[in-house]
Amino acid sequence: MHDAFKNFVGPYLDVDDPETKGVLVFDYTSNEKGSGSIPDSGYRLDHWTLFKLKPGISQAQKQEIINGFLALKNNTKNGVPYLNLIEYGEQNSKEGAERGFGIGFRVSFASEADRNYYEGKPFLTEPGTFDPKHDKYRDFVTPFLDKVLVYDYEVKW
């Protein structure tokens, strides 16, 4: 089944990319800590963030990066928690198409407005329109990162 899928989508990919043939694969086993609750139905928007760390980052620094991201779960908007779930995992795909990304995080929101509040700068810059703790985390983590990939989508049921 997997090979049939690869054959089906192959013509639509940038197969001239010598490294990955146009594919990004990032498999991981989810952690349990940091998880929350996701509704079984209704609107849901998922926000994926993949980190490729700079060479030479220590295990302690990596753990600090992970712990800092997971701590965002406790953030509030107008005094109310607004993140349905944060989970993470480390890349474990055997396909060799992870493009160097080693840590992935998924954040789930109940509304586009909540996602926009979370993302904030540079789109929302007025105080009170964005999550200052997420903004501070970005400032903290940026020096450790070689690349970041962010992908958002509305979950279809």
To the nearest whole number, what is the mean pLDDT of the chain? 83
Per-residue pLDDT reduced to its tens digit, 88-120: 999 888 877 778 889 999 999 999 999 999 999
CB atoms within 10 A of CB 124: 16
3-state secondary structure of 89: strand
What are the b/e assignments for 89-105, b being 16+ CB within 10 Å?
bebeeeeeebbebbbbb
Question: Which is more confident, 121 or 38?
Answer: 121
Q: Can you give the pTM of this predicted structure?
A: 0.79
With contact defined as beta carbons under 8 Å apart, do 23 and 97 qualify?
yes
Mean pLDDT for 43-52 is: 92
